[in-house]
Amino acid sequence: MSTVTLRIARYDPQKGDKKSHFETHTLSDVLPTDRVLDLLNRVKWEQDGSLVYRRSCAHGICGSDAMVINGKNRLACKILAKDLPATITVEPLKGLPVKRDLIVDMDPFFESYESVMPFQVTQHEPHGRERIQSHEDQQLIDDQAKCILCAICTTSCPSFWANDQFVGPAAIVQASRFLFDTRDEGNEERLKRLNEYTGVWRCRTIFNCVEACPQGIDITKHIGNVKKALLHGNTDFVRQS
């Protein structure tokens, strides 16, 4: 068991805060199994009930507790305190407006997500009762389907920080999930969106996104494939490669 100092960014406009400031909490008896989320819970439950942050599953599935931990975008429920220095700094994600403490406004993120039509578009009736897909075709979209929409990639991207109208890597991964789904028939419109000034071309291959993704998704490969689809005018090349 050890002692940890937690520096937490606090901001509450209802209390008249004009900008964020840090508050420090010391926690003793920290266990080797305690994650940063457990420490935040202890601060909230034992020291200051006014602290707010998002969390739900506590098991890396819902994507709600993304935050900046010691300068890196992480899920608080997946990072053990014992793997960090004895002083841990926790801040809200960058590039999205902070609403309070560690909570950012996710609306712009989900607007970009919606803009790439993250759903299957079909124009023909299925042959038989289902839209059958082969194992090989499913493999083209398995990686993208692991995305939990945590926003860690988009909010670690300097191109997004520079222009918050950039659709961002998370939305591109989601677009790719459907662009390369062989049952989908909505590519024309989806590619049109991604070819806009704020679309995929604003990616400057900086790679922060792929390094930060907690799901290990090969984001830059999918971004590259979306760029190729725009250059080829179709998605056939993925089945030939």
**Ranges within 104-163 binding ligand F3S (CB under 6 A):** 157, 159
**Ranges within 198-237 binding ligand SF4 (CB under 6 A):** 213, 215, 217, 219
Instruction: Please report how close the Cβ of residue 164 comes to ligand F3S at its closest, in angstroms.
Output: 13
**Ranges within 135-154 binding ligand SF4 (CB under 6 A):** 147-153
- By CB under 6 A, residue 207 contacts ligand F3S: yes
- By CB under 6 A, residue 162 contacts ligand FES: no
- By CB under 6 A, residue 208 contacts ligand F3S: yes
Token code pair at residue 28: 């003793």
- Amino acid, res. 26: T
Instruction: Specify the 3-state DSSP secondary structure of 187.
Output: helix
Torsion of CA 75, 79, 85, 88, to 10 degrees: 40
- Which among 216, 228, 241, 219 has a CA at the least distance from the CA of 136? 241
Sorted by sequence, the CB contacts under 8 Å of residue 65 that are 6+ apart come out as 37, 53, 54, 55, 56, 58, 75, 76, 77
Q: Which does 39 bind (CB under 5 to 8 A by kind): ligand SF4, ligand FES, ligand F3S, none?
A: none
Binding footprint of ligand SF4 on the chain (CB under 6 A): 63, 147-153, 169-170, 173, 213, 215, 217, 219
Binding footprint of ligand F3S on the chain (CB under 6 A): 157, 159, 169, 203-209, 220, 223
